[in-house]
Amino acid sequence: MRHYPVAVLCTLLFSVIFMKSCANTTTPPSGGAKDTIPPVLLYVEPQNLATNVSRDKGYVKMTFDEYVVVKTASDIFLSPPMEKKPVHKIRGKSIIVSFDGKLDSNRTYVLDMGQSVADNNEGNIYPGFVIAFSTGNTVDSMYLTGTVSDCNTLAPFKGATVGLYISDDDSVVFKERPVAAAKADDWGFFTIRNIKDTLYRMYAFNDLNNDNVFNPESEEVAFIDSLVRPTKVVADNILELFKLDMKDTLACLTRQSDYELAMFKEATARQYLVNKERTGEKTFYITFSAPYTQIDSLWFEGIPQEKVITQFNDMEDSLLIWINDGSKVQPDSLWLNVNYMKTDDSLKIRVPTTERIGMHKSRAMIQDAKRYKRRDEMKAEDTATVYKVSANGETFDQDGFIIDFTFPLVEAKFDSLQMILINPRQEESPAAYTVVHDTMDLRRYRIYPEQPLQKGYECQLKIPYGVFFDINRMPNDSSKTKVSLPTSEDLSTLYLSLKEMSGECRYIVELMNEKRDKAIRRYEIRTDTTLVFPYIKEGMYSVRITEDLNNNGIVDTGILLEKKQPEKVKFLELSDGNSLITIPPAMEIEQEVNIKEMFK
């Protein structure tokens, strides 16, 4: 072994240490545990629950133990809201939130920072901060809670502004900012805190332009029918006052909600014609600003009245129009006259009005008209009555064969159709059938076998050539469509027993998929009954029930000034409070629903 003098070893060791310390002097140390600790609030000015704060004190300053950033400025909310939103700036380790203008005298203010504050390095969120202070001698101490949801889907309405008002004016939400307010969180839950013990009107609205005033043209709204009064006092140990992690489902669902608000898009009270378009040689549409349009008469100049076919949509705010005169090419410009009840802006009431509307062909449409001279460029509707036949075994008992035509029919020989049953041995036999014309779409027909289709059988619908003629006077092509019931042994059936129906209105009952964006099967009922939902695949489902008060088959929206709530929509809740129903394979499930209890 070779030996070195001690002095030499010390010199070498010092050199290594010195080199290490001099390298990468601008790079922070690497390695070690990641910082997961959120910033710590050291000081607030003014302090929480401070009184006699100067009206000129136009800011709140928060100082933390490390450098911080504001990640989501939209989370910062002041109650009562001022004309302009609070603004913030970073100064060192402090956040300064400034208010525009003087504070009101003898008023309690609440600044809610939401989940906006995070540390500068790792982005650890400061777990919410709320400060209350007063320009008077006391800080108001009452609070109330609630939940905001969409009136159709019952999904939480995140970000809705919920406001309290002290006024006898029913239109206060259109004109004034609330005297106290809060924002609904991811669960639609809100707490309006540090408010006076008095009576309030409560509204919620989707404040898209951040002016803290309801705009009926573009924003949804909700309201509580009666006056509300807080009954609870702010304290440090109240769950509803905590800033919770929105991913903590159990804690979020444990919070108690005093009020439920259903958000709806109000149909505008002003009625006028907003749009028109010529979509084809003989097809047009016009749309109106409000539903349930009252049209007294409608006519094209130069075209007999009996040659015009019209169809409203469900809400009666859009009208499809066809000309049924048999000829292919129409003039490039047509004039449509519509006599309807239009809102007079000076009188603020609807009065009979006739509008003359030009329906002109587009340049592309004029060029398309030339294709009639070249048969190789013709479209399907130029040579035949175009239709589509669809059938689904899972809903065949309800829907049958559905025939959708592109244009309205002017001649139909439904008795020339052929329905054939095919048994498991592939033996064919004719079957009697029934034709039903859809009441909402004049271009749709349903064909049902008179006897229910049995499992293992197939049903075929044959449509011969030339039994249908639409407004273009062209015969249809022939077609064959076959359907059979599902045969999988893994499919399940849900039996839904509905009891204590009021009998005064109709209820719409729908089996929805897990996302609640598609109805798998729908019933409309008036009396106690048991509904059958067959052929259900394994998965998660919901049952949506709508109280159809006016029996029009749709969910009607509310009217704010008339204090009319939207028609109620409820989802069936199981005994554990869950509204999602787990359907296992190959099961028959029975569920009872008390309608009176559900809609009380």
Distance between first and last Cα of the chain: 96
**DSSP state letter for 370:** G
Asked whether the beta carbons of 506 and 545 are under 8 A apart, the reply is no
Hey, is 263 helix, strand or coil? strand
Judge whether residue 428 has pLDDT over 50. yes
Nearest of 265, 124, 113, 248 to residue 186 by alpha carbon:
248
Judge whether residue 335 has pLDDT over 50. yes
**DSSP state letter for 393:** G
Predicted confidence at residue 562, as pLDDT, reads 84
Taking phi over 0 as left and psi of -120 to 50 as alpha, with beta for the rest, 539 belongs to left
Residues 235 and 141: their CA atoms lie apart, in Å, by 9
Q: Whole-model pTM?
A: 0.73
Judge whether residue 31 has pLDDT over 90. no
Report CA torsion sign: 502, 505, 506, 510: negative
Asked whether the beta carbons of 447 and 401 are under 8 A apart, the reply is yes
Judge whether residue 196 has pLDDT over 60. yes
Q: What is the mean pLDDT of residues 334-353?
A: 92
Residues 149 and 319: their CA atoms lie apart, in Å, by 31
The DSSP line for 25-39 is: TTSPP--S----PPP
Token couple for 306 = 């009996």
Taking phi over 0 as left and psi of -120 to 50 as alpha, with beta for the rest, 123 belongs to left
Predicted confidence at residue 47, as pLDDT, reads 95
Predicted confidence at residue 412, as pLDDT, reads 97
Q: What is the mean pLDDT of residues 364-387?
A: 70
Distance from the Cα of residue 12 to its chain's centroid:
73
Residues 368-397: b if buried by 16+ CB within 10 A, e if exposed: beeeeeeeeeeeebbebbbbebebebbbbb
Range of lowest pLDDT (318-327, 362-371, 422-431) = 362-371
Residues 253 and 588: their CA atoms lie apart, in Å, by 31
List C-alpha distances in Å: 571 to 131, 154, 288. 38, 8, 32
Q: What is the mean pLDDT of residues 266-275?
A: 87
Mean pLDDT of the chain: 89
Edge-to-edge strand list for the sheet holding 318-323: 273-278, 283-288, 318-323, 308-312
Predicted confidence at residue 559, as pLDDT, reads 86
Predicted confidence at residue 138, as pLDDT, reads 97
Paired strand residues for 288: 273
Asked whether the beta carbons of 388 and 403 are under 8 A apart, the reply is yes
Choose from 216-220, 357-361, 553-557 the range with maximum mean pLDDT. Answer: 357-361
Judge whether residue 376 has pLDDT over 70. no
Residues 223 and 165: their CA atoms lie apart, in Å, by 11
List C-alpha distances in Å: 203 to 191, 196, 486. 13, 17, 49
Nearest of 107, 83, 86 to residue 213 by alpha carbon:
83
User: What are the structural domains of the chain?
Assistant: 41-134 (2.60.40.1220), 142-263 (2.60.40.1120), 273-370 (2.60.40), 381-484 (2.60.40.1220), 492-598 (2.60.40.10)
Q: What is the mean pLDDT of residues 420-442?
A: 96
Predicted confidence at residue 383, as pLDDT, reads 83
Residues 230-265: b if buried by 16+ CB within 10 A, e if exposed: bebebeeebebbebbeeeeeeebeebebbbebbbbb
Predicted confidence at residue 101, as pLDDT, reads 86
Judge whether residue 3 has pLDDT over 80. no
Residues 158 and 206: their CA atoms lie apart, in Å, by 9
Residues 150 and 265: their CA atoms lie apart, in Å, by 10
Residues 435 and 409: their CA atoms lie apart, in Å, by 14
Token couple for 172 = 């206060």
Judge whether residue 374 has pLDDT over 80. no
Q: What is the mean pLDDT of residues 236-263?
A: 93
Question: What single letter denotes the amino acid at residue 473?
Answer: R
Pairing assessment for the beta strands 401-405 and 387-390 based on DSSP bridges: antiparallel
Kindly tell me the number of DSSP H helices and DSSP E strands found in the chain: 7, 42
Range of lowest pLDDT (46-50, 326-330, 403-407, 410-414) = 326-330
Predicted confidence at residue 378, as pLDDT, reads 60
Q: pLDDT digits over 516-525, tens only?
A: 889 999 999 9
Predicted confidence at residue 34, as pLDDT, reads 67
Judge whether residue 15 has pLDDT over 60. no
Asked whether the beta carbons of 124 and 36 are under 8 A apart, the reply is yes
Q: pLDDT digits over 137-178, tens only?
A: 999 999 999 999 999 888 899 999 999 999 988 889 999 999
The DSSP line for 40-106 is: -EEEEESPTTB-S--TT--EEEEEESS-EEES-GGG-EEES--SS--EEEEETTEEEEE-SSPPPTT
Asked whether the beta carbons of 98 and 73 are under 8 A apart, the reply is no
The band of 195, judged by pLDDT with boundaries at 50, 70 and 90, is: very high
Q: Outline where DSSP puts E strands in 92-205.
A: 94-98, 108-112, 117-119, 130-134, 142-150, 161-165, 180-183, 189-195, 201-205
Judge whether residue 8 has pLDDT over 60. no
Judge whether residue 451 has pLDDT over 90. yes
Residues 148 and 570: their CA atoms lie apart, in Å, by 14
Residues 153 and 143: their CA atoms lie apart, in Å, by 28
Phi and psi at residue 239, to the nearest 5°:
-55, -40
Q: What is the mean pLDDT of residues 483-511?
A: 92
Residues 132 and 191: their CA atoms lie apart, in Å, by 14
Asked whether the beta carbons of 157 and 149 are under 8 A apart, the reply is yes
Predicted confidence at residue 32, as pLDDT, reads 53
Asked whether the beta carbons of 521 and 483 are under 8 A apart, the reply is no
Token couple for 451 = 């006897």
Predicted confidence at residue 198, as pLDDT, reads 97
Predicted confidence at residue 375, as pLDDT, reads 52
The band of 371, judged by pLDDT with boundaries at 50, 70 and 90, is: low
